Structure 1
Amino acid sequence: MIIDNRGLEPPQPMMRTLKALDKMKNGEKLAIINDRRPMFLYEELDERGYLHETEAQEDGSFKISITKIGD
């Protein structure tokens, strides 16, 4: 699943992302695209034990791939 959060003001991207993660099962993957690096989201993902990787995109946005591995 991919969620495009570009054009949204904080905290909407983080809220949308966490809501989607809450509905996912362990082992599932989610990709999000944000206008900027989601620094506060990284902290939340680390606390929850999720794996995540960030790739800068050519248009200046960031694609974050998240794997749900625990609650």
Structure 2
Amino acid sequence: MILDNRGLEPPQPMMRTLAALETLGEGEILTIINDRRPMFLYEQLEELGYKQRTEQQNDGSFKIEIFR
């Protein structure tokens, strides 16, 4: 599942991401694309037991893969 959060103002990207995680199945990966590094989201993910990989893209956006 890919969620493109570019162009949204905080806290919309985080709210959309957390809502999408509720539908994530076991073994699935949620990929989000944000305009900025989601520092507050990282804390939430850790509390919920998720792991993430963050990669800055050539256009300055960030691709974050979220999984258990």
TM-score, scaled to structure 1: 0.92
Q: CA deviation at 1:26?
A: 2.2
Paired position in structure 2 for 1:30: 30
- 1:9 maps to amino acid: E
Give runs of aligned pairs for residues 1-71 of structure 1, distance below 5 A. 1-67=1-67, 69=68
- In 2, Cα distance between equivalents of 1:2 and 1:38: 16
Gaps of at least 5 residues in structure 2 are none
**Considering only aligned residues, what root-mean-square deviation do their CA atoms show, in Å?**
0.7
Q: CA deviation at 1:41?
A: 0.4
Gaps of at least 5 residues in structure 1 are none
For this pair of structures, how many residues does the alignment match?
68
TM-score, scaled to structure 2: 0.95
Structure 1 stretches of at least 4 aligned residues deviating more than 2 Å after TM superposition? none
Q: CA deviation at 1:39?
A: 0.5
